[in-house]
Amino acid sequence: MDETAAAMRLGGFPLRFLVAAALILATYNPEGYSYFHWVRAGGPITPLKAFAGVCLAIAWVFLLRATMRSLHLVGTILAAAFFGTLVWLLITWLHVDAEGHALVYLILLCVAAVVATGSSWSLFPRKVTGQVDVDEPER
């Protein structure tokens, strides 16, 4: 079984989107139940807070590095522009309140979509064209 088939069998983009959304919403969400709010509430930095922060940082570095390696800077900017203008379009068509939590969730889900696109992108050109790109080894 090739890598693309395995990735598609495991959910592919939707799974990557859910993982990215879970990471983003665990880091910050407007409901107040996030790592950001937990740390901001005050109190001493406990081993649990530190451990959770390190786990979140590892996940962020992993996903952002995959996104940057796959899309590079220009592709990441274009993906952000694509999803940003999609949100603008949805706000315009659906008349979403720009002051409410809905807008914050749309923005957070756009960030998740950019990260999911970046972590999925390396499989897309191979699936469409059949060509395999090989990265140069790091020095």
- pLDDT 10s digits, 50-107: 999 999 999 999 999 999 998 999 999 999 999 999 988 988 898 877 777 888 898 9
pLDDT digits (tens, 9 = 90+) for 99-129: 778 888 989 999 999 999 988 887 666 666 6
- φ, ψ of residue 5 to 5 degrees: the values are -65, -40
Token representation of residue 56: 């979140």
Task: State which H helix or E strand residue 28 sits in.
Answer: none
Cα–Cα distances in angstroms (integers) from residue 96 to residues 11, 93, 106, in the given order: 30, 8, 10
pLDDT at 35 over 70: yes
First and final C-alpha spacing in the chain = 31
pTM to 2 decimals? 0.78
Q: Exposed, middle or buried, 50 (CB in 10 Å: 0-12/13-18/19+)?
A: exposed
Residue whose C-alpha is closest to residue 125's, from 77, 82, 71: 71
